[in-house]
């Protein structure tokens, strides 16, 4: 179904006082029109009288609008409409009150308050404090007899816009082509078109922040290639444990990617695969018959890419590992197990030295003390810190003098794709492995975990298809 929403509260001069202009405006729409006139009490711009506002909605129906959106507290006062005019009954609360554990019950109450004999569709547009609220909206709205639009406002509610149709919503809302969004968290038609669909299995990326991630674009492109009934979304949360508890209640959630700062937050909440135990961090969650299982594909990607670039195993390879967070733990576990000679450099000796000791590695020193590229310098400099990530794109964790010919600069930062770390390495004659290459390698491993045997159809990393996938992921496809 395609509709255009006409916000009459934004153009009060075109209304009952000028029915000809209103009829002309609606007739010019390329698709059926849904007319609304939102009062200020519900976040709109209409500041006039209630009788005039409801009269404007009736006039819009008489001028050809196929749908009328009227608030739940005003629908009883709406006059007769032309036969065939369809009604959306809506609410737009300014906030979702209560502690996190209490908010699902509040959402259920608000949805129940929308029931009305004139409603063919009901709509609840509600600010989301956390992506956990978006999951509650999707779960609770999908159980209702009347088609329900449950929209989480703000970026933390974006999952409702992407997955709403899969939960039974008759449509989703997007900004008008070429114009800025008119509601917080609203996406463009192109963004919606690239990921939206009627999906039986749901996936997402957990993090805070996570708006920079292009994982949904890549993952949904892969799902489309494999012909899978699945969709993947952003899930920005400060409470990954609470979000997982909400996901427990809805079997459509099958798996998650986990990024900064939650890679260690769920270790005692889920069953851990051996590589996640070794790393002391996870970046992938997969639903199993017994619950959630945590994996770590970051370390796997490090091993795959370095072996492919070097054409040999990693035993004796000299590596300078920058950082001591979740990604660094994954790399340290794999490199140590492979027999590489790893020196750790970090921003804090207080954290870096114990980290090195834990994995049986050498403590090299603070980031600024990594020596210049001379004979005997590390063959690989692996950046597992967030330094250089958007929006701090002009930063590098090390001085440019540490790079030289014959070295490999390996960056786990993928936003932006071309970091200062990589630019300075290239300028000094070093080879590079970018964060995009790393992301694709670990994403392919995640996909294999998400889909098991069905992932056999995934192209190998040497397949040219991944070049196109990288373009999609970078937003250029």
**Which positions are annotated as active-site residues?**
263
Closest of 302, 267, 270, 296 to residue 283, by C-alpha:
296
* Residue labelled with tokens 């899978």: 228
Distance CA(248)–CA(254), nearest Å, equals 10
Distance CA(378)–CA(362), nearest Å, equals 13
Give 214's contacts (C-beta < 8 A, 6+ positions apart).
415, 472, 473, 474, 475
In sequence order, what are the beta bridge partners of 382? 321, 410
Distances (CA, A) of 220 to 20, 192, 455: 45, 11, 14
Strands 4-7 and 33-36, how do they pair? parallel
Going 233 to 239 to 240 to 242, the CA torsion angle's sign is: negative
Distance CA(248)–CA(288), nearest Å, equals 11
Closest of 226, 229, 220, 228 to residue 166, by C-alpha:
229
Going 312 to 318 to 323 to 328, the CA torsion angle's sign is: positive
* Residue labelled with tokens 């340290």: 332
What is the side-by-side order of every strand in the sheet holding 121-127?
4-7, 33-36, 67-71, 86-91, 121-127, 148-153
Neighbours of 122 (CB within 10 A): 24
Distance CA(50)–CA(41), nearest Å, equals 11
Helix (H, G, I), strand (E, B) or coil at 185: coil
- What is the DSSP code (8-state) at residue 283? S
């Amino acid at each position: 179904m395609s509709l255009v929403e006409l916000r009459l509260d934004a153009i009060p001069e075109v209304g009952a006082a000028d029915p000809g202009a209103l009829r002309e405006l609606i007739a010019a729409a390329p698709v059926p029109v849904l007319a609304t006139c939102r009062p200020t009490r519900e976040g709109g711009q209409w500041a006039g009288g209630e009788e005039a506002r409801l009269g404007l909605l009736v006039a819009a129906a008489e001028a050809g609008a196929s749908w009328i959106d009227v608030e739940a507290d005003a629908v009883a006062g709406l006059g007769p409409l032309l036969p065939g005019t369809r009604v959306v009954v809506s609410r737009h609360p300014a906030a979702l009150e209560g502690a996190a554990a209490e908010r699902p019950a509040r959402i259920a109450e608000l949805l129940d308050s929308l029931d009305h004999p004139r409603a063919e569709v009901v709509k609840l547009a509600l600010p989301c404090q956390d992506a956990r609220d978006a999951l509650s909206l999707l779960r609770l709205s999908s159980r209702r007899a009347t088609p329900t639009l449950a929209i989480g406002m703000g970026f933390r509610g974006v999952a409702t816009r992407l997955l709403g149709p899969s939960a039974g919503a008759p449509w989703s809302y997007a900004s008008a082509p070429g114009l800025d969004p008119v509601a917080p968290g609203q996406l463009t038609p192109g963004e919606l078109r690239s990921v939206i669909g009627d999906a039986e299995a749901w996936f997402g990326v957990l993090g805070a922040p996570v708006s920079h991630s292009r994982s949904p674009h890549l993952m949904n492109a892969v799902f489309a290639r494999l012909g899978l009934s699945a969709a993947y979304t952003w899930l920005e949360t400060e409470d990954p444990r609470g979000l997982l508890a909400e996901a427990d209640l809805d079997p459509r959630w099958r798996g998650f990617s986990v990024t900064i700062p939650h890679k260690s937050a769920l270790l005692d909440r889920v069953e851990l695969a051996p590589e996640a135990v070794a790393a002391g961090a996870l970046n992938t969650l997969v639903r199993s018959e017994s619950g959630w299982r945590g994996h770590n594909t970051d370390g796997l990607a490090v091993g795959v890419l370095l072996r492919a670039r070097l054409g040999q195993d990693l035993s004796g390879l000299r590596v300078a590992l920058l950082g001591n967070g979740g990604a660094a733990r994954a790399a340290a576990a794999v490199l140590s197990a492979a027999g590489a000679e790893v020196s750790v450099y970090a921003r804090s000796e207080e954290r870096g030295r114990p980290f090195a000791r834990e994995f049986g590695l050498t403590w090299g020193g603070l980031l600024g003390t990594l020596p210049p590229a001379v004979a005997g310098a590390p063959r690989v400099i692996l950046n597992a810190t967030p330094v250089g990530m958007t929006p701090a794109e002009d930063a590098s964790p090390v001085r440019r003098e540490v790079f030289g010919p014959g070295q490999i600069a390996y960056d786990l930062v993928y936003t932006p794709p071309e970091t200062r770390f990589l630019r300075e390495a290239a300028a000094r004659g070093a080879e590079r492995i970018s964060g995009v290459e790393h992301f694709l390698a670990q994403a392919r491993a995640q996909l294999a975990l998400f889909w098991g045997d069905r992932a056999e159809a995934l192209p190998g990393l040497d397949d040219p298809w991944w070049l196109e996938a990288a373009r999609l992921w970078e937003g250029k496809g």
